[in-house]
Structure formats: C-alpha cells, structure tokens
Amino acid sequence: MKKKFLVIVGVLIISINAKSQLPQLGKASNAQVIAAMTLEEKAQMVNGANTHGYDSASSLLLKQAKNLVPGAAGTTMPLPRLGITPAILSDGPAGLRINPKRNDSPETYYCTGFPIGTLLAATWNQDLVQNVGVAMGNETLEYGADVLLAPGMNIQRNPLCGRNFEYYSEDPVLAGKTAAAFVRGVQSQGVGTSIKHFACNNQETNRSMTNAIVSQRALREIYLKNFEITVKEGNPWTVMTSYNKLNGRYTSEDSILISTILRQQWGFKGMVMSDWDGGTNPISQMLVGNDLLQPGKKKSYDTILSCLKSGSLPSSVIDANINLILELIKKTPRFRGFIPSNRPDLKAHALVTRQSATEGIVLLKNVNEALPLKKSIQKVALFGVYSYDLFTAGGTGSGDVNKAYITNLKQGLSNASIPIEQSTEAAYNKYFNDSLPKIKKYNATKKWNQPSYHLPEILPNETDLMTSSTNADLALITIGRNSGESYDRKLQYDFLLTDDETKLLTNVCNAFHQAGKKVVVILNICGVIETASWKNLPDAILVAWQPGQEGGNSIVDVLKGIENPSGKLPMTFPIKYEDVPSAKNFPSEYATEADETKDKKKNVDYTNYKEGIYVGYRHYTTFDKPVSYPFGYGLSYTSFKYSNLKVKQIGDNLLASVTISNTGKVAGKEVAELYSTAPKGKLDKPKLELRAFAKTKLLQPAESQIVEMIFHKSDLASFDESSSSWVADAGEYIISVGTSVENIPTKAVFKLEKKWEKKELGW
Ligand code: BGC
C-alpha cells in the first residue's frame, strides 16, 4: 500500500515538474507558449468548440469548457498544460443569452431582457447606453462568460432586414457612437465585446452566400464608418466578421478589410473572429487575420492541420493569430481567476431596463393633449393581441434573451392601478384561451430563430365597441411586429398593416371619437412599419419598439407622464415602401425582378447597393421626397427653444454650442442634432449629414442648458474614389442644429479655409 502511494506521489511530482517546465500563459511570453504547442494544438486554438476529429483528451477538455456556461454560443480551446483557460463567448445585443436552467442544478440562470438595439439608439443618450452596457457586462461577468457577442451594429439599409431590431440606425454616426458607448459600458466590467457583423450584413436572405456589391464611397462613408467610430471610441476586444461576401469576397477572407482597413488604418489591436460557420476557406481566413473560426468545423481543423504539416500555411501566420487569441484570453475574468457568483442583481437590472426603455420610446403624434393621461381617466379599454400575451420584449434568434418574465401592457397598467375595461379584456382572454393549443403546437416545433406565433387580430363588433366606449374613458391599441435572425421581413404583413389591423384601428377610433373619447396607438415593433395611411386616425402614437422585459411598465411610465418621452427616430418612416432608396435592391415581393445572370439570383445571390451613399434620410432630404416621419423626429410633452448657436474652431476640432430652453410646462430632455451641408464641390453630397448630437439633462420648465457638440474637421469629408482619399473642400459649411432632420430651428456658417485631404489605403 505504502509502495503504491509512493509511486503515485512520484508520478504526480514528475508531471507537476513537467508542467512547471512548460511555459505557462501569463508567466512566459506568448511566443514561448505558442512555441510549446504541437501543430494539432495550434489548429485547435484557431478553431472554436468543434470536437469532431480531436483526440479524446482534447474533446473532453472542450466538452468541459462548453459545460461551464450552458447555452453560451462558443468557447476557445483550453490547453491546461500551457495554462490556457477557455474564453466563453455568449450572445448578445439585448442581454446575455444562456440557458436559464441546468441539468445539474436546481438554481435558475435567467438574464435580464434589456431593450433592443434600435430602442437604445432611439435614446440618443450615450451615457444611458453606457449604463445599460454596464448592467449587461455585469451579468456576463457574474454568469461566467468572458465575451458578450454584441453589439449588432450594421446599418439599417432597408426596413425589411430581419435583424434591424438588433441594429441601431440608418446613420453611421448615431450607430457608431451608440455602439461605442455600449462597448465602453460592457467592457468596464472586465469582460469583452465583439462588434458585429463586419460588414454589410444588411439582409438575412441567403446571408451566408450573398454578395453585397457596394461602391467604395458608400462603404467608407456609410457601412464602415460606424465600425470605424466604434473601434476608435470604444476599443472593443474583438470584431466579428459577417457571413456575406462583399464585392465578391467573403468578409472573413478579405485582407484589405481586415488587415489594411481595420488594423492598419483604424489601429485595431484586438482579435477578429468569424461569425458562426462564416466563410468557406479556412486558409484564406488564417492568412488575412481572421484569427478565430467559430465554432470551428472538422473540415477547417483538418485543412489547417494538413497545411501546417506541409508548410503551405506558414507557422508565422497561425502564430500571429494565436498570439491575438492569447492576448484576449489573458484579459478574461476566467484567466484572471474570477469566480462567477451566478447571482447578478437582477432586481437592480430590471430597474435599469425599465428606466432606459422609457427614454427610447418615441412620441410620433399627440393631438388634443391626449397624453400624458389625465387624472380623470378612470378606465382604459385595451385592444390588440400585442397588448396582452403577444406583447414582445425583444426579437428572436441570437438577439433573444432567456428572461424570467415579460411585463406586458395589461400588467403594466394594472401595476399602475389603471383599471382595464372588462368586456374587452374578457374577449381577449377567451381568444387567447381558445388559441392556446395552436400556439403550443407552433412553439413545440418552432426553430430557435423563428418569430413567435402570430395571432390575427380580433375585431370587436358594434355592440362590443359601444359597451367598451361607454365604459372606458380612453382606448389603447397595440400593433405588434416581431422578426429574427435568418429571415427578412415581408412587405405584406410585416411592413404593411393587415386588413384586420386597419379595421381594428378604424372601428375603435370611430367608436371612441363618437363617444368623445381619445385613442392612443402603441407600436410594439421590431422595425419600421407603414404609418402614413392610418396615422390621422388616433390622437396619439407612441413607438415603444421592443422595450425589454419591463416593457409594459416602461410604456405606462410614459403614458402617465412619470417619464416625458425624449426618444427620436434613429431611422426614417417612409410613406410607402416603394420610396425606400434600396426598395428595388432588397429581397422582397416588391423587388421580384427576373434573374440577371444565368445562375445568380438578384437580391438572393447578390445585392446591388445602387443607392450608394443615399441611404435613409440622405436620400429623402437630398431628393425632396416627403416621408411619414423623418429621421431624428420625436415629440415631447413640453416644448424647447434653440438659440445662440456658435461654431468655433479649436485646432482641428469644431466646437458647436447651442442654448436649449424648456419653454413648456413640464420637465423634459431634448436631443440636439447637428447636421452639416457642404459647399458645392467636385463630389455630389447629401443635403444634410449628421455629424454630432447631444442630449440635455432633465430641464425644468423655464430652465436652459448650453449643450456642446464637438467634431473633427475630417468628419466633414467625403470619400473621393478617384484619388482614394477623404476630402473636405474649402469653403462655407452650413451647420444646422435641429430637433429632426426636417425641423432645423438654428443654423450657423463655418468657413473651412483650406481643403482637408487624407489618402487612404484600400481595395
Ligand atoms: C449570429 C451571430 C451570433 C452567433 C452566435 C450567428 O448565427 O449571426 O450574431 O453571435 O450566431 O450565436
């Protein structure tokens, strides 16, 4: 027995010695650690959680890593013999997406469902977005993940993109600054972010094969600009390349995009990872510096290993990629020895989501002082299936969050002790009960990324409406839309209202108006819908987006005037879908043109970004196209005056200051939006381009604040393809500061004495 014990101790000492002689990550240099790896280990390090084809010991290690945070999207390869811990990577933009339950534990692991990205952008409040990021980063940390796969920040090129809800805006400055604030917040908790999807993942149809055909100018000014701002102002740990091809090449295989633009020009020092199974050629991906393949396929592992063995993939290439993966791992909480509590403060975070959602809700219409609700309102009649069980807190797919509960509008009203008219509520309760079997059946077979079950609206008959408009003092109607990863939205139904919805709006408005009562419409939507045909019907319209798990409470806080709405649209609401500049070049029923080439289908295999830089309001303002609601638009319960705009040059920066005064009767916040108009020069230019923005503090009635907005001379530049350079012509620039792109109360002129120019490397 004693002999056996001594043998075991001896073996242990030998293996500890062997390990202590091996370079350990963090103690030895990365180069020494990498030099100690076998070729198999190197091929594993650049692949993610793939276990196929690995030896059994490696497979076991990966399985253990994947079990650390069940439901996380991925992990890097652990190598304990070299002191390398796994980095756990987990979605997503509206909060951490992990499994809420585990087989081996009675505990629950719910995460907070925060508002969707679009709502965060609609706050135009970088401090608020940063605070939401802090809360999400804290949950990431406390639940044991190392990198949050967020923010989603592609440009909302077309209202039908299925992932627009995860994204921020049609404008690169608003999208870039919002993403940078988000990144700063999350990373302040000591965990990483992965800004995604770099770049031009602007449609979901055939997303892993389609080719985005985009001009150099549109790329630089629109589709890369937002990423550039976030890289420079947010300093994200990682960047995730997109699924699609860009001008013929997969983004994860494009050395100009990754090496020249992202790293050389913008100075990005972090790691680049692929989207899940993105790209087709792992050797190209390695060569261009797409350091990590997620989740890693057996084929990529085999190809990389055999090319390493034959020498056709130089070790220096893979070593450089592994070096950046190790740099990331060294920053992770897991490597630093942090022990997750699995107990983030969900109550505190529920408050964060409740309050932040109120600030991104946009008031589109408010006539006859319909809102805020008067004290005399005793009872409201609640219409629309989305007011009840179908109320949507967030979108589907990897942007979804497994939250413990969703407060719908009905609950929000009852939490605020606002009685709901009973006959209407009873009709909806019966409808939901009757539909339950259908909903359950759908949910049982529904794929993870498919939208939730859609129940058609019910139409109350004349007698029902007579009862509810007699019993209630006001009607609320919620119109809802949901979407998710892998699918684009459809023109019919997703963008346009259904006939039933139009009838519901018309009938309820008629009945309540005849009874001398008001109607408020709440839009619980993932993206832009048609509003022009029906917006004259109700007295007030609120866009609540998908406001997170406390959504019902947030909406009621705004309805009651506890919070004064200060959100502004981060995109345009056009009159008709046909008005959208990319309408003909985006997958939809509207753009069903014949195939242009024998084997390639337009808007499926490839999409021409023919509108160039004229995306969103750049198009509508320049070509004088009327819209339903313009970019940057949003009303308040109070009013503001703009005065005393000054623009001065400080070195290479421009500092604009403007006084904003609350001229109304209640406290409120205002967003100042600064647009520039360039002098006539060689390049055609949009009429107005957002360059900076700022939000006031809560201004009391009669209170004023001087807000300052700073931007660089180079922000006035456009990209000249003929010289591959950014150019800001000398001359007079009009600086407009307004409350939407169509409402500009104050302007100033700034003279750029000398032409500003900067050569860029590129394709
Ligand atoms: C999505 C990414 C996500 C990843 C991991 C992909 O399908 O496009 O945004 O981070 O899955 O879940």
The DSSP line for 60-83 is: HHHHHHHHHSTT-SEEPPPBGGGT
- Distance between Cα 361 and ligand 1 center (Å): 27
Q: Is the pLDDT of residue 569 over 90?
A: yes
The closest residue, in CA terms, to atom 11 on ligand 1 is 276
Asked whether residue 542 is domain-assigned, the answer is yes
pTM beyond 0.75: the answer is yes
User: Looking at the structure, do residues 658 and 565 belong to the same domain, yes or no?
Assistant: no
Q: Which of 571, 600, 628 is the last residue of a domain?
A: 571
User: Looking at the structure, do residues 653 and 556 belong to the same domain, yes or no?
Assistant: no
What's the confidence (pLDDT) of residue 1?
44
User: Looking at the structure, do residues 468 and 380 belong to the same domain, yes or no?
Assistant: yes
**Residue 292 DSSP label:** B
Asked whether residue 682 is domain-assigned, the answer is yes
- The enclosing H or E element of 680 equals none
- Distance between Cα 251 and ligand 1 center (Å): 15
- Ligand 1 pocket by C-beta < 6 Å: which residues? 73, 91-92, 149, 196, 275-276, 398, 485
Residues facing residue 507 across a β-bridge: none
Asked whether residue 280 is domain-assigned, the answer is no
What's the confidence (pLDDT) of residue 226?
98
pLDDT band at 385 (very low <50, low <70, confident <90, very high): very high
pLDDT band at 704 (very low <50, low <70, confident <90, very high): very high
- Distance between Cα 275 and ligand 1 center (Å): 6
Q: Is the pLDDT of residue 10 over 50?
A: no
| Lookup: tokens for 358 | 């109120």
- Distance between Cα 105 and ligand 1 center (Å): 27
For residue 610, CA distances in Å to 214, 325, 495, 588 come to: 8, 38, 22, 16
Mean pLDDT computed over 337-359: 98
Percentage of the chain beyond pLDDT 70 is: 96
Q: Which of 520, 542, 571 is the last residue of a domain?
A: 571
Q: Which domain holds residue 661?
A: 640-759
User: Looking at the structure, do residues 680 and 546 belong to the same domain, yes or no?
Assistant: no
Mutation choice for ligand 1 from 96, 276, 277, 485, CB with most ligand atoms inside 8 A = 276
- Distance between Cα 229 and ligand 1 center (Å): 22
User: Looking at the structure, do residues 547 and 679 belong to the same domain, yes or no?
Assistant: no
Ligand 1 atom nearest the C-alpha of 197 is 9
User: Looking at the structure, do residues 522 and 653 belong to the same domain, yes or no?
Assistant: no
In the block, residue with structure tokens 């370079």: 23
Q: Which of 523, 556, 571 is the last residue of a domain?
A: 571
- 122's CB contacts (< 8 A; 6+ apart) are 360, 361, 362, 543, 545, 567, 568, 569, 570, 634
Secondary structure (3-state) at 420:
strand
pLDDT tens, 148-185? 999 999 999 999 999 999 999 999 999 999 999 999 99
For 564-586, b/e burial (b = at least 16 CB within 10 A) is bbbbbbbbbbbbebebbbbbbbb
| Lookup: tokens for 460 | 């109350």
Mean pLDDT computed over 257-266: 97
Distance CA 39, CA 312 (A): 13
Distance CA 646, CA 707 (A): 11
User: Looking at the structure, do residues 542 and 671 belong to the same domain, yes or no?
Assistant: no
At residue 43's C-alpha, the angle toward residues 39 and 46, to 5°, is 140
Helix 172-187 × helix 225-234 angle, to 10°: 30
Mean pLDDT computed over 739-761: 96
Helix 462-471 × helix 422-445 angle, to 10°: 120
The closest residue, in CA terms, to atom 7 on ligand 1 is 276
Distance CA 51, CA 553 (A): 45
pLDDT tens, 661-672? 999 999 999 999
Asked whether residue 481 is domain-assigned, the answer is yes
Residues facing residue 709 across a β-bridge: 656
Asked whether residue 232 is domain-assigned, the answer is no
Asked whether residue 283 is domain-assigned, the answer is no
Mean pLDDT computed over 692-709: 98
Mutation choice for ligand 1 from 204, 272, 275, CB with most ligand atoms inside 8 A = 275
List % helix, strand, coil for the chain (3-state, nearest 5): 35, 20, 45
The closest residue, in CA terms, to atom 6 on ligand 1 is 276
Q: Is the pLDDT of residue 12 over 50?
A: no
Mutation choice for ligand 1 from 66, 75, 76, 91, CB with most ligand atoms inside 8 A = 91
User: Looking at the structure, do residues 372 and 475 belong to the same domain, yes or no?
Assistant: yes
Query: Any idea what the CATH number is for the domain that residue 696 is in?
Result: 2.60.40.10
- Distance between Cα 26 and ligand 1 center (Å): 30
User: Looking at the structure, do residues 514 and 651 belong to the same domain, yes or no?
Assistant: no
User: Looking at the structure, do residues 393 and 530 belong to the same domain, yes or no?
Assistant: yes
Asked whether residue 478 is domain-assigned, the answer is yes
Q: Catalogue the E-assigned strands of 604-678.
A: 606-608, 640-650, 653-662, 671-677
Query: Any idea what the CATH number is for the domain that residue 514 is in?
Result: 3.40.50.1700
User: Looking at the structure, do residues 561 and 644 belong to the same domain, yes or no?
Assistant: no
As a whole number of Å, the end-to-end CA separation of the chain is 72
Contact 642, 692 (CB under 8 A): no
Q: What is the CA radius of gyration of the chain?
A: 27
pLDDT tens, 435-475? 988 888 888 888 877 777 778 999 999 999 999 999 999 99
User: Looking at the structure, do residues 457 and 371 belong to the same domain, yes or no?
Assistant: yes
The closest residue, in CA terms, to atom 8 on ligand 1 is 275
Ligand 1 atom nearest the C-alpha of 91 is 10
| Lookup: tokens for 352 | 């964060």
- Distance between Cα 717 and ligand 1 center (Å): 34
The closest residue, in CA terms, to atom 9 on ligand 1 is 398
Contact 597, 534 (CB under 8 A): no
Specify the pairing of strand 101-102 against strand 88-91: unpaired
| Lookup: tokens for 703 | 């209170």
Number of domain units in the chain: 2
Neighbours of 616 (CB within 10 A): 29
Asked whether residue 491 is domain-assigned, the answer is yes
